[in-house]
């Protein structure tokens, strides 16, 4: 007898959130793209502007050029009907060995298993406090 | 708590902050409520936060918590909003902030606040 695996909106959204952060962490832009809906948009509190999916993917690619690695640690995820909020510490190591830790918050709107909108909140003053 | 109760609690909290109702804030925040800010990377208690409230208004004529987008989950909420401030100089500034709140029995037990401190000077109208 097989038992059907039970999924809930909560578990589906949590998995999507982890899939996205894991993919960004691993530099797997194809996997990042799979998390995004075709018309996905992203807003951030630094520039208060909205970018497209392609602009977001291009920005991620540029980031990898100047970073040795980045990790999304201390993830705390809460889900709601049509999205999730992820709080995490983004630990970045640059090519010169300096490190920076950003405590950030990402709010996602999800439809049909894909992210349609992201809103990213962080403190840019921490960029200047590299160790 | 139901989704309605959580959303209502969230609105009451921001209305009270906007209106300077420290008495309401003290009622809404649990006795052991913790407030964490990504700017400082440390936690403060409810009483520390409320004691600092008057100082946080220095130089400001008013501030309003607008464009509230609230999503509720089982034990809390996430709110994205614009903090619009009018300084005593007449300067107007805006900050975009996200707060995650945890709620139990009609009270907020924890707040995690995310904002960009690089925008503070411009918000206050510094040259």
Q: What is the DSSP string of A58-109?
A: HHHHHHHHHEEEEEEEEEEEEEETTEEEEEEEEEEEETTS-EEEEEEEEEEE
| Partners of residue A80 in chain B, C-beta under 8 Å | 71-73, 78
- Which pLDDT belongs to residue B68? 97
* pLDDT tens sequence across A66-103: 899 999 999 999 999 999 999 999 999 999 999 999 99
- Which pLDDT belongs to residue B57? 82
Q: Looking at the complex, does the CB of residue A80 fall below 8 Å from at least one CB of chain B?
A: yes
Maximum pairwise Cα distance, chain A:
59
In the structure, what pLDDT confidence band is assigned to residue A3 with cuts at 50, 70 and 90?
Answer: low
- Which pLDDT belongs to residue A5? 60
DSSP run (H or E) holding B109: strand B107-114
Domain ranges of chain B: 3-120
* pLDDT tens sequence across B80-105: 999 999 999 999 999 999 999 999 99
Q: Domain B3-120 belongs to what architecture? A: Roll (3.10)
- Which pLDDT belongs to residue A7? 64
pTM for the model stands at: 0.91
Indicate which of A45, A84, A109, A119 best probes the interface with B, i.e. most B CBs within 10 Å of its own CB: A45
Nearest residue to B41 (alpha-carbon basis) of B114, B118, B108, B96:
B114
Residue A43's φ and ψ, nearest 5 degrees, are -120, 145
pLDDT at A35 over 60: yes
Nearest CB neighbour to B112, from listed A45, A87, A122? A87
Domain ranges of chain A: 9-128
* pLDDT tens sequence across B40-67: 999 999 999 999 988 888 889 999 999 9
- Which pLDDT belongs to residue B63? 92
Q: How far is CA A57 from the centre of its chain?
A: 11
pLDDT at A111 over 70: yes
* pLDDT tens sequence across A5-34: 666 788 999 999 999 999 999 999 999 999
Nearest residue to A61 (alpha-carbon basis) of A100, A8, A113, A24:
A24
pLDDT at B14 over 90: yes
- Which pLDDT belongs to residue B30? 98
What's chain B's average pLDDT? 94
Query: CA A100, CA A110: separation in Å to the nearest integer?
Result: 30
Asked if A105 and B38 come within 8 Å (Cβ–Cβ), the reply is: yes
Q: What is the CATH number assigned to the segment(s) A9-128?
A: 3.10.450.50
Cα torsion for A75, A91, B113, B124, to the nearest 10°?
A: -160
């Amino acid at each position: 007898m097989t038992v059907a695996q039970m999924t809930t909106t909560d578990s589906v959204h949590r998995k999507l959130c982890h899939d996205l952060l894991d993919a960004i962490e691993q530099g797997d832009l194809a996997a990042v793209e799979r998390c995004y809906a075709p018309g996905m948009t992203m807003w951030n509190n630094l520039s208060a502007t909205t970018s497209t999916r392609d602009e977001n993917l291009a920005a991620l690619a540029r980031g990898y050029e100047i970073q040795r690695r980045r990790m999304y640690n201390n993830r705390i995820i809460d889900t709601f009907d049509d999205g999730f909020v992820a709080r995490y510490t983004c630990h970045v190591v640059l090519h010169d060995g300096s490190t920076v830790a950003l405590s950030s918050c990402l709010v996602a709107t999800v439809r049909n298993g894909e992210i349609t909108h992201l809103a990213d909140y962080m403190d840019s003053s921490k960029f200047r406090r590299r160790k | 708590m139901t989704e309605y109760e959580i959303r209502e609690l969230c609105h009451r909290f921001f209305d009270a902050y906007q209106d300077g109702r420290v008495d309401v804030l003290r009622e809404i925040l649990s006795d052991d409520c913790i407030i964490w800010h990504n700017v400082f990377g440390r936690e403060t208690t409810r009483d520390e936060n409320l004691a600092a409230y008057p100082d946080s208004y220095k130089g400001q004529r008013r501030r309003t918590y607008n464009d509230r987008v609230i999503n509720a989950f089982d034990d809390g909420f996430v709110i994205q909003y614009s903090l619009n401030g009018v300084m005593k100089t007449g300067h107007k500034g805006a900050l975009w902030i996200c707060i995650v709140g945890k709620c139990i029995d009609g009270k907020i037990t924890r707040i995690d606040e995310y904002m960009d401190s690089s925008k503070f000077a411009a918000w206050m109208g510094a040259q």
